[in-house]
Structure 1
Amino acid sequence: MSTNRPAPGRLPASVYRRRRLMVLLGLVAVVVAVVLVFVRPGASQGDDVATTTPPTVPSTSAPDATDVPTATDDAGPPATDEADAAEAAEPATDGDPCRAEQITVEAVTDQAVYAAGEQPKLSVTITNTGSNVCVLNVGTAAQVFTITSGADTYWSSTHCQVDPVDAEVSIEPGTPVSSSEPITWDRTRSSADTCGGERATVPAAGASYHLSVTVDGFESATSKQFLVY
Structure 2
Amino acid sequence: MDPDTFRSDIGADIYWRRRMAALVGVLVVVAVVAWACSSTSGPQDAREKGTSAAKKDVPDPLLAILPTVTVIPSPSASPSASPTPEPRESKAAPRPRRPGEACTSPQLVLSMEGQGTVYPPGIRPRFILTLVNVGKVMCTTDVGPRTMEVRITSGDDRVWSSSDCVSGETENIRKLDRGIPYVRELVWDRRRSGNDCTADRVAARPGTYVAVVHAPGLRSRKAVFHLR
Give 2:224's aligned residue.
225
Please tell me whether residue 95 in structure 1 is matched to residue 94 in structure 2: no
Q: Secondary structure of the residue that 2:167 maps to in structure 1?
A: coil
Distance in 1 (alpha carbons) for counterparts of 2:106 and 2:171:
22
Give 1:112's aligned residue.
117
Alignment RMSD, CA only? 2.2
Distance in 2 (alpha carbons) for counterparts of 1:107 and 1:160:
22
Structure 1 portions without partners, runs of 5+: 1-84
Shift of 1:156: 1.0
Greater Cα radius of gyration, structure 1 or 2: 2
Distance in 1 (alpha carbons) for counterparts of 2:168 and 2:143:
15
Q: In structure 2, give the amino acid aligned to 1:166.
A: E
Aligned length: 138
Distance in 1 (alpha carbons) for counterparts of 2:165 and 2:144:
16
**Contact (CA 8 Å) 2:102, 2:139: kept in 1 or not?**
yes
Give 2:42's aligned residue.
none
Give 1:191's aligned residue.
194
Distance in 1 (alpha carbons) for counterparts of 2:200 and 2:127:
21
Q: Secondary structure of the residue that 2:106 maps to in structure 1?
A: helix
Q: Secondary structure of the residue that 1:105 maps to in structure 2?
A: strand
Shift of 1:120: 1.2
Please tell me whether residue 150 in structure 1 is matched to residue 155 in structure 2: yes
Q: In structure 2, give the amino acid aligned to 1:201.
A: A
**Contact (CA 8 Å) 2:129, 2:186: kept in 1 or not?**
no
Give 1:135's aligned residue.
140
Shift of 1:151: 1.9
Give 2:209's aligned residue.
209
**Contact (CA 8 Å) 2:133, 2:178: kept in 1 or not?**
yes
Distance in 2 (alpha carbons) for counterparts of 1:165 and 1:121:
21
Q: In structure 2, give the amino acid aligned to 1:113.
A: V
Shift of 1:168: 1.7
Task: Say if 1:201 and 1:214 are closer, same or farther in 2 by CA, change over 3 A.
Answer: same
Q: Secondary structure of the residue that 1:94 maps to in structure 2?
A: coil
More helix by share: 2
Q: In structure 2, give the amino acid aligned to 1:225.
A: V
**Contact (CA 8 Å) 1:188, 1:201: kept in 2 or not?**
yes
Q: In structure 1, give the amino acid aligned to 2:198.
A: G
**Contact (CA 8 Å) 2:146, 2:162: kept in 1 or not?**
no
Structure 2 portions without partners, runs of 5+: 1-90
Please tell me whether residue 173 in structure 1 is matched to residue 178 in structure 2: yes
Kindly provide the CA deviation profile for residues 127-180 of structure 1, in whole angstroms up to 9, marking residues without a partner as x: 11222111111233423111012222111112221213322221111111101x
**Contact (CA 8 Å) 2:145, 2:163: kept in 1 or not?**
no
**Contact (CA 8 Å) 1:187, 1:201: kept in 2 or not?**
yes
TM norm structure 2: 0.54
Q: In structure 1, give the amino acid aligned to 2:203.
A: T
**Contact (CA 8 Å) 1:212, 1:222: kept in 2 or not?**
yes
Residue from 167, 184, 188 that aligns with 1:162: 167
Distance in 2 (alpha carbons) for counterparts of 1:145 and 1:221:
10
Sequence identity percentage:
28
Distance in 2 (alpha carbons) for counterparts of 1:167 and 1:200:
29
